[in-house]
């Protein structure tokens, strides 16, 4: 029997162990997509207790606590932090096979030096240990980032954002880690939303212009993209319920926009036409700027309407959408490619059934001498566990070039989530090591080591064009 989460956790072969410990373990982290709050970095926040770090906004954990029958009072309600932590500990001990069990214990090991396991009985011990540790200067937000080996991270930012905290961080020479904005224009695209007109007014203020037409909207977005670009932005991100391709004339799109800002409401067909035009427009702009475009889709959001009305979005009530838009995705990419304006693109589906279709789409649009110009993104959200990561990388290897993969991202709001990179790297090395041990690839450690380092770090540096040294 192997020891619980020891040095060779998830590494079952000698080759996997050598790959991880020699090439992946010490590689720095480039977190090109997360939901970290830049204000907390700018102010170098320190947390009062482990509940603030672990349960404040983590809907992954909230879902499991609800599955364990925990009352909402102890999840998002007003219960004391110690009681919330106790309920999480009582839940975690039941989470056998769930990645949260591994993530939580990796965080306890790496940041708090705790080698035991958390359950209802050990909760008091862990609570006291973590809270004492959190009072140390080395556990401030900036120092957590430093000790995690992060060289650069990209936050998620609306086009109307002032990026004031990014400015503060960039001007502070005492903090060496780059914190860059990433462009997330979902609100500018969601013409069907009841608050669309209010958002467009806010965007106009940020762009210092009045937005009355779709042409105005495009001009405002170009101005804001220029500002983001001046702040070091190199990547966009889109949350799409599904991928659409419904071409329309400029006149049609103008009319749909007018309906959206008037509050009249748009039909589903009109929504799809507007979003198609919007995505093609911004895609061309990304290509002009040299930005990468990330497309996250396959999620049906806010399914529990009662709880959504009480708690709002991103509170743990989303699920996988069983829609597989392979034809629409190909048509959308082709619409950009026809005019030679297809940017570097990373495609993520929340539905693992889409792995193969994404893998075949990639090969249709690789071009321009860019290694892996069109990427399949890392196993995302409901899939960032051992099975999901293994299946995603295996499918990518079967249908494309795994060696050009840009690797892992945290997609998290927590400053302790960087252990997810360790988790990913262990699974990567286990997968490659298994192929070598089975005689499917030679035991060429020089080449294998280069592949591991590239997927862990170098590929992302090169792909996004960040000003970082390779390893």
Mean pLDDT in order along the chain per 10 residues (471 residues): 96 98 98 96 97 92 97 97 98 97 98 97 98 96 97 98 98 97 98 96 98 98 98 96 86 97 93 96 98 94 92 91 83 96 96 94 91 96 96 98 97 93 98 98 98 98 97 96
Token pair of 207 as six digits: 């762009």
- Nearest CA to 122 out of 166, 92, 161 is that of 92
Give the predicted TM-score (pTM) of the model.
Answer: 0.96
What pLDDT is recorded for position 335?
Answer: 96
N-term to C-term CA, the chain: 36
- Nearest CA to 417 out of 91, 114, 104, 92 is that of 104
What pLDDT is recorded for position 46?
Answer: 95
- Nearest CA to 283 out of 233, 224, 237, 352 is that of 237
- Nearest CA to 376 out of 400, 410, 353, 341 is that of 400
Q: At which residue do the structure tokens 């977005």 appear? A: 221
Helix 445-453 × helix 419-437 angle, to 10°: 150
What pLDDT is recorded for position 324?
Answer: 65
What does the alpha-carbon distance between residue 290 and residue 157 come to, in Å, rounded to a whole number? 18
What does the alpha-carbon distance between residue 298 and residue 193 come to, in Å, rounded to a whole number? 19
């Amino acid at each position: 029997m192997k020891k619980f989460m020891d040095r060779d956790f998830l590494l079952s072969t000698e080759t996997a162990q050598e790959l991880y410990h020699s090439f992946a373990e010490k590689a720095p982290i480039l977190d090109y997509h997360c939901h970290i709050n830049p204000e907390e970095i700018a102010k170098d926040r320190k947390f009062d207790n482990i509940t603030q770090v672990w349960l404040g906004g983590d809907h992954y954990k909230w879902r499991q606590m609800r599955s364990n029958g925990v009352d909402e009072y102890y999840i998002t309600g007003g219960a004391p932090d110690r009681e919330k932590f106790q309920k999480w500990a009582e839940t975690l001990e039941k989470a056998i096979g769930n990645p949260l069990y591994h993530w939580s214990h990796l965080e306890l090991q790496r940041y708090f030096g705790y080698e035991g396991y958390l359950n209802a009985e050990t909760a008091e011990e862990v609570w006291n240990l973590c809270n004492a540790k959190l009072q140390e200067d080395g556990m401030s937000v900036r120092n957590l980032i430093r000790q995690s080996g992060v060289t650069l991270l990209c936050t998620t930012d609306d086009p109307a954002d002032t990026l004031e905290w990014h400015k503060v961080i960039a001007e502070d020479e005492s903090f060496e880690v780059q914190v860059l904005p990433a462009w997330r224009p979902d609100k500018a695209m969601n013409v069907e939303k009841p608050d669309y007109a209010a958002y467009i007014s806010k965007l106009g203020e940020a762009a210092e212009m009045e937005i009355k037409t779709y042409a105005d909207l495009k001009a405002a977005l170009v101005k804001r993209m220029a500002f983001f670009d001046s702040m070091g932005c190199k990547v966009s991100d889109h949350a799409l319920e599904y991928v659409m391709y419904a071409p329309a004339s400029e006149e049609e799109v103008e009319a749909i926009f007018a309906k959206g800002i008037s509050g009249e409401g748009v039909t589903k067909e009109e929504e799809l036409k507007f979003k198609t035009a919007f995505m093609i427009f911004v895609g061309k702009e990304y290509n002009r700027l040299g930005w990468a475009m990330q497309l996250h889709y396959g999620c049906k959001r806010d399914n529990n309407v009662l709880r959504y009305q009480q708690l709002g979005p991103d509170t743990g009530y989303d699920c996988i959408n069983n829609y597989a838009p392979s034809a629409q995705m190909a048509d959308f990419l082709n619409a950009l490619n026809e005019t030679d304006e297809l940017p570097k693109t990373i495609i993520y589906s929340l539905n693992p059934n889409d792995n193969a279709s994404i893998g075949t789409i990639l090969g249709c649009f690789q071009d321009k001498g860019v290694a892996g110009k069109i990427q399949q993104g890392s196993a995302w959200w409901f899939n960032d566990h051992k099975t999901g990561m293994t299946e995603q990388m295996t499918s990518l290897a079967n249908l494309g070039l795994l060696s050009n993969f840009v690797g892992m991202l945290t997609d998290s709001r927590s400053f302790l989530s960087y252990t997810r990179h360790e988790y990913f790297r262990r699974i990567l090395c286990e997968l490659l090591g298994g192929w070598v041990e089975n005689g499917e690839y030679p035991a060429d450690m020089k080449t294998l080591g280069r592949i591991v380092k590239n997927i862990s770090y170098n590929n992302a540096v090169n792909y996004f064009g960040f000003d970082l040294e390779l390893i």
